[in-house]
């Protein structure tokens, strides 16, 4: 068996198990068993479990991030500010194209992203901001241009709120799909969820800032 074949079999098995059970709760014995290779193959081909995790994530990031970078640069080159929903919609196509790279690629990648952000404390956040910080900065700049009312701190928080929505939804997407199909008899796939996400995120990010007296009224005991 060629070097590439074995490495790919391992990564294919690893990513589906990682997405389903998380990184720490997936053992190398599960991975090598499902990939039908010897236990030692992971350490031989990748060096360590940690390196395998990075390789699995990088396989997708390498495809998605340059695409996003191009799109963001095009929008930044325009004269006028872009509508917020158009900025967010930039993510849709590059993400859905991962389904062509690999069956269920989009779902797998987003689930892995969710696991990476919640499992290993901050490792993925550091990795992405180190390797793809410039791409994310362009995205933040576009959001700021589309929401001139909001200061940088407000946008920071709202973008992380949105990241939480995406990452959590995808990490538990299997369970949510099952519930949605059982309760509402609707065919749920990744594309329909993204369709639902866009207006939600757009409205949330561009929401009016709450006035202090409003909040006091809301949380006041006398009300």
Partner DNA sequence: TCCAGTTTCAAACGTTCGTTTGAAATGTAC
Partner DNA sequence: GTACATTTCAAACGAACGTTTGAAACTGGA
Chain contacts with DNA (rule: CB under 7 A):
1-3, 6, 26-30, 37-45, 48-50
- Phi-psi map region of 47: left, alpha, beta (phi>0 left; psi -120 to 50 alpha): left
Helix axes 152-171, 173-184, angle to 10 degrees: 70
180 binds a copy of itself (CB under 8 A): yes
- Least Å distance, CB 34 to DNA, is 13
CB neighbours of residue 122 within 10 Å: 9
Q: Is 136 an interacting residue with respect to a copy of itself (CB under 8 A)? A: no
Q: 221 touches which of DNA, a copy of itself, none (CB within 5 to 8 A by kind)? A: a copy of itself
Please give the Cα distance from 59 to 77 (Å, whole number).
29
Q: Of DNA, a copy of itself, none, which one does residue 44 interact with (CB within 5 to 8 Å by kind)?
A: DNA
Give the single-character DSSP code of 119: S
Task: Report how far residue 11's alpha carbon sits from residue 56's, in angstroms, rounded to the nearest whole number.
Answer: 6
Q: Which partner in DNA, a copy of itself, none is near 26 (CB below 5 to 8 A by kind)?
A: DNA
Comparing CB distances to a copy of itself, the nearer of 65 and 166 is 166
Binding partner of residue 101 among a copy of itself, DNA, none, CB cut-off 5 to 8 Å per kind: none
Listed in sequence order, the residues at least 6 apart from 59 whose beta carbon sits closer than 8 Å to its beta carbon are: 11, 15
- Minimum Å gap between C-beta 20 and DNA is 14
CA angle 122, 205, 109 (to 5 degrees): 45
Regarding 137 and contact with a copy of itself (CB under 8 A), the answer is no
User: Which one of 3-11, 28-36, 130-138, 153-161 is the stretch in contact with a copy of itself (CB under 8 A)?
Assistant: 153-161
């Amino acid at each position: 068996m060629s070097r590439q074949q074995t490495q790919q079999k391992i990564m294919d098995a690893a990513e589906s198990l990682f997405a389903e059970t998380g990184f720490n709760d997936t053992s190398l014995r599960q991975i090598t068993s499902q990939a039908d290779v010897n236990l030692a193959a992971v350490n031989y081909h990748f060096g360590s479990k940690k390196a395998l995790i990075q390789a699995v994530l990088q396989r997708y990031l390498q495809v998605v991030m340059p695409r996003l970078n191009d799109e963001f640069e095009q929008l930044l080159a325009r004269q006028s500010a872009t509508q917020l929903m158009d900025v967010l919609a930039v993510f849709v196509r590059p993400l859905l194209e991962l389904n062509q790279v690999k069956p269920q690629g989009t779902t797998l990648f987003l689930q892995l992203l969710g696991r990476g952000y919640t499992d290993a404390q901050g490792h993925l956040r550091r990795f992405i901001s180190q390797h793809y910080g410039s791409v994310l900065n362009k995205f933040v700049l576009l959001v700021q241009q589309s929401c001139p009312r909001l200061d940088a701190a407000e946008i920071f928080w709202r973008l992380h709120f949105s990241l939480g929505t995406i990452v959590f939804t995808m990490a538990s997407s299997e369970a949510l799909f099952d519930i949605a199909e059982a309760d509402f008899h609707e065919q749920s796939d990744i594309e329909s969820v993204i369709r639902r996400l866009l207006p939600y995120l757009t409205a949330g990010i561009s929401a009016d800032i709450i006035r202090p007296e409003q909040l006091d009224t809301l949380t006041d005991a006398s009300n």
